[in-house]
Structure 1
Amino acid sequence: MESLERLAGLLRRHATVEGLQRTAIPGVSVVRSGALTMPMPVVYEPTLCLIAQGRKQVMLGTTAYVYHPAKYLIASVDLPVTGSVIEASEEAPYLSLVLDLDMAELSDLALRHPLADEADAAPSSGIVLNDTTPALLDAAVRLVGLLDTPDDIEALSPLVVREILYRLLTCPGNGLVRQMAKANSRLNQIARAIAWLREHYNEPFRIDDLADIAGMGRSTFHAHFKAVTSMSPLEFRTQLRLQEARRLMVAEAMDAAGAGYRVGYESPSQFSRDYARMFGMPPAKDAGRLRGSAETAAR
């Protein structure tokens, strides 16, 4: 409890703006929210999310993951999710530490510290929740505490980050992290296909081509892809397309037809149907609402 209070105090001091804020420590961000937030789509890259105060819900497909100070979240591959802060107030804001997971460091640690009963199991969901341990929390406090002594960051932050990765690898129930660390694991085979989809989401593709990229047979690939992402490859691509279309309309003021075409839709009506299904309203109306909210917040 003392370590959790110390982490919350550090985050309260260094998370000076609403939302995600990069820090001087490479790969480390802090998050603050003084209010509940609407569900917002985002792509989670391989990440540790450790909450010091508040509560958040992430939807991957139709599966909800709720995490809080007693449970941290690991995202193992690039995943399009919808996230919302579900417990926060100005007096007790949502406070979180986000650490990008370094695959090279994880792999080196897994080689140096193998588990006796380690096996390459079939991948489960690409997101896992696990218990926050005192050792992990203590390391997180020391990592964020380096923001108070910036001259120490270059020398000490790699050591503390490596300790955190070691804690993740050796925590009971973290088989997913072990799979992330193994280059030839089923999870990393799926990750190769996901990386290709993220780069080519606006192009047509065949499932057989994705299976070849992953080095799997078609049926095996489809089963493992859905286990990791909770979606089929086509559903995954649709989410990527719609998230990018929304960004284009809000950030670059592109019209709905142009945004749909840019992300790979040939039919404006199909784009509108898919968009309304995901975001709850037609594209132009949703984009106008979001632009209006941003302008109001800026005043």
Structure 2
Amino acid sequence: MSKARSPASVRMVRLIEKLAPNEGYTQSALDSVRLMRSDRPLGRTPVLYEPSIVIVCQGRKLGFLGNDVYVYDAQHYLVLSVPLPFSTETQASAEAPMLAVSIHLDLIELSELITQISAAGHLPDEPPNLMVSTELDENLAGATVRLLEALTVPMDARILGPALVREICYRVLTGAQGGAMRAALAHHGRFGRVAKALKRIHADYASPLNVTRLAEEAGMSVPAFHANFRAVTQTSPIQYIKSTRLHHARLMMIRDGVTAAAAAGRVGYESTSQFSREFKRLFGRTPVEEARDMRESFSLSPAVGFGA
């Protein structure tokens, strides 16, 4: 039997319904915050998430990475400390849409927050974890409600919003799995060296990327880099680079309306036919079919306007 929804959860649903009237993604008044909505179930779908906190207020999403399954719903939130391709399943309906808020993590600001938390002491160190699903507690739920309320008032969003985002990050970093996330975001040891390579890939995915060069930049031999890369991401460097390019191409076709040939060129493919083959292998459909069928789910609507 599912748990009864808390007053905070009910309030979050009402606010997101107001902030995100359209399916897909909706930008909020803050650059780092987007709302997510799906009015229908979606089967297992490849996605690429940036480092982020995703708080689902209604409906349910399942994340699949390797042999692990991550549940994020009204009782659990998801956090990723690195950009990561994986796949998701969405449970939703027109009567009860999946509604969520996604907060992009600014790694520079987070490093300052982690330093302050560490200086306060008494929080144990844990092995780093790049992706966690954690139970939503009252403190985090309350901060999320206050952020969503602020987003409905332009002045509140500008003045209070950044501090509320910071509070949510603080609650996550000091929560049940905060130690694992702090260790991951601090980018120490082999995890940190792989994270540096991931950052480089996402900054330069449209340029030629050489795995040997990435290994050298990470301070590892090529075999060690492959082993550590797979341990962190559950995939090989070549497959990660390919997946990153294809995900960005899909968004270009869906959100910018570019052709498959144009998207292929923008993400670094010299051969459109090779792009189409690899695209269909990852997404199960041709670029044209995928862009057409996923346009609503991955569209990005502008922020909803509210009076001052």
1:105-254 to 2 correspondence within 5 Å?
105-114=109-118, 115-116=121-122, 118-119=124-125, 121=127, 123-124=128-129, 126-247=130-251, 251-254=257-260
1:240 partner letter: T
In structure 2, C-alpha distance between the alignment counterparts of 1:119 and 1:84, rounded to whole Å: 32
TM-score when scaled to structure 2?
0.80
Could you report, residue by residue, the CA deviation over 1:125-145 in whole angstroms, capped at 9, with x for unpaired residues?
Answer: x22111111111011011111
Deviation at 1:175, TM superposition (A): 3.0
Partner in structure 2 of residue 69 of structure 1? 74
**1:25-36 mapped onto 2 (5 Å cutoff):** 25-36=30-41
For structure 2, list consecutive stretches of 5 or more residues without a partner in the other structure: 1-5, 300-308
CA contact (8 A) 1:246 1:287 kept: no
Structure 1 unmatched runs, 5+: none
Partner-residue secondary structure (3-state), 2:74: coil
Q: Deviations over 1:208-256 (max 9, x none)?
A: 321222233434432332122111101111212333444566632234x
CA distance in 1, matches of 2:30, 2:55: 16
Q: In structure 2, do the counterparts of structure 1 residues 8 and 180 end up closer, same or farther at CA, with 3 Å as the change threshold? A: same
Q: Which moved more, 1:268-277 or 1:103-112?
A: 268-277
The separation in 2 between residues aligned to 1:292 and 1:31, in whole angstroms, is 17
Q: 2:186 is matched by which residue type in structure 1?
A: K
Give the SS at the match of 1:113: helix
With normalisation by structure 1, the TM-score equals 0.82
- Give the equivalent residue in structure 1 for 2:305: none
Q: Are the equivalent residues in 2 in contact too, given 1:45–1:77 (CA < 8 A)?
A: yes
Counterpart AA for 2:95: E
2:63 aligned with 1:58: yes
C-alpha contact (below 8 Å) 2:283/2:290 kept by paired residues: no
How many residues of Structure 1 are paired with residues of Structure 2 in the alignment? 288
Percent of aligned pairs sharing the same letter: 36
The alpha-carbon distance between structure 1 residues 55 and 168, as it changes in their structure 2 partners (threshold 3 A), is: same
SS at match of 1:17: coil
Which of structures 1 and 2 has the larger relative contact order (alpha carbons within 8 angstroms, sep 6+)?
2
SS at match of 2:201: helix
Amino acid at match of 2:142: D
- What CA RMSD, in Å, does the superposition of the two structures yield over aligned residues? 3.0
2: distance between equivalents of 1:95 and 1:292? 20
How far has the Cα of 1:10 moved from its partner? Answer: 1.2
Q: Which amino acid aligns with 1:287?
A: V
Q: Mark the CA change 1:246 to 1:149 in structure 2 (over 3 Å): closer, same or farther.
A: closer
Offset at 1:9?
Answer: 1.4
Distance change >3 Å, CA 62–CA 278, structure 1 → 2: farther
1:101 maps to which residue? 105
